[in-house]
Amino acid sequence: MKTILILNGPNLNLLGTREPDLYGHDTLKDVEALCTESAKLHGLGIEALQSNHEGDLIDAMHKAGQAFKAGTLLGVVINAGALTHTSIGLHDAIKGIQPCPVIEVHISNVYAREAFRHHSFIAPVAAGCIVGFGIRGYQLAIHALAEGQH
Ligand code: DQA
């Protein structure tokens, strides 16, 4: 069974209690359960990792690149949190594992928020971006990957 890697960056472990007006009441565990369910519909599995550390996410991206090459991984869904707006390292990692498709997800509509959230270092190297649809964004990304819409 092929898998999709679900990566979550800094502070997303606080989902459910962190700014619920913006991010909702669902926890990271709920998000991962939703992803498992969505992937299952396509006969796919998921692997999930959350880290507050940039290097862990970069290492996970490199591993994903190897799994993609080996034919065991379909692609990556990443919500890089605040690293979206700062990390050239993640940009380079995503570029470095191409053509493995990476889909950028944000729970909130970052473009309706502070100006510093309007720039993404991930978007230029992402297969696609899904913002502002709440945790449903993860599901949409999984469907897009599974259906080859990238
Ligand atoms: C976020 C948006 C980012 O700007 C923020 O730093 C996050 C969450 C989102 O899912 O809406 O941590 O990625």
Domain positions in the chain? 3-146
Closest ligand 1 atom to Cα of 108: 11
What sign does the dihedral 17-21-22-24 (CA atoms) show? positive
Residue 65 has pLDDT above 80, yes or no: yes
Binding-site residues, ligand 1, Cβ < 6 A: 11, 79, 81-82, 84, 106-108, 110, 117
Calculate mean pLDDT across residues 59-80.
98
- Condensed to tens digits (0 to 9), the pLDDT of residues 3-32 reads 999 999 999 999 999 999 999 999 999 999
- Which among 106, 118, 119, 150 is annotated as catalytic? 106
Is pTM beyond 0.85 here? yes
Q: Which two tokens stand for residue 120?
A: 């993404």
Which residue's CA is the nearest one to ligand 1's atom 6? 82
Band (141; pLDDT cuts 50, 70, 90):
very high
Residue 150 has pLDDT above 80, yes or no: no
φ, ψ of residue 17 to 5 degrees: the values are -120, -20
Give Cβ neighbours of residue 63 (< 8 Å, ≥ 6 apart).
none
- Condensed to tens digits (0 to 9), the pLDDT of residues 108-119 reads 999 999 999 999
Which residue's CA is the nearest one to ligand 1's atom 12? 81
- Condensed to tens digits (0 to 9), the pLDDT of residues 71-88 reads 999 999 999 999 999 999
Q: Is 106 a catalytic residue?
A: yes
pLDDT of residue 97: 98
Q: What distance in Å separates the CA atoms of residue 87 and residue 112, rounded to the nearest whole number?
A: 21
Residue 149 has pLDDT above 90, yes or no: no
Mean pLDDT of the chain: 97
Among 113, 111, 149, 141, which Cα is nearest to 39's?
A: 141
Residue 43 has pLDDT above 80, yes or no: yes
CATH of domain 3-146: 3.40.50.9100
pLDDT of residue 57: 98
